Amino acid sequence: MTKMTTLTRRAATATLAGVTLIALAACVPEPPDGRPSPLDGHWVGRYTPQTMQVMDRPCTPGYGGIRIQDGRLSGYATNTYGASYRISGHVIGADRIVGNFYFRTRSVGSLKGHLVKGRLVGNYENVDGCRGSWVATRQ
């Protein structure tokens, strides 16, 4: 293989990698940029597990509230045993949210949802395998 062939292949590989990176970047949703969102406001709701137990661990229902401001969400949820979880996330597009919930400083689950007839509805899953649905109304 000549030096010129090696250089040409390296240039082609670098160009292909750059095009792939640009294509992947185009598929990732933009993070919130601090602009008002149609979902901005206070929301209060309940969450319900699909099952009450996963591998000898309880899956508990609960309630909570979130505040969405400029496309960013924050809030808290509490289960029936009184354990509190911090919620953090952001708005995607005009009507969807994604986020995580934390016990103390540890991420213990994720949630996603969207606007349906004036209510936020969605699903969640925690690190113990508990899954369920949630619904919140604007206050």
Q: Is 34 in contact with 71 (CB distance < 8 Å)?
A: yes
Pairing of strands 62-69, 57-58: unpaired
pTM exceeding the 0.95 threshold for the entire prediction: no
The answer to whether 110 and 123 have CB atoms below 8 angstroms apart is no
User: Which residue(s) pair with 54 in the sheet?
Assistant: 57
Count each helix (H run) and each strand (E run) in the chain, helices first: 1, 10
Q: What is the pLDDT of residues 84-110, one digit of tens each?
A: 999 999 999 999 999 999 999 999 999
Higher pLDDT, 54 or 65: 65
Q: Is there a contact between 67 and 77 (Cβ–Cβ < 8 Å)?
A: no
Return mean pLDDT, the chain.
Answer: 84
Q: Which residue has the higher pLDDT, 114 or 26?
A: 114
**In the predicted structure, residue 124 carries a pLDDT above the cut 70:** yes
Tens digits of per-residue pLDDT, 21-50? 444 444 444 445 677 899 999 999 999 999
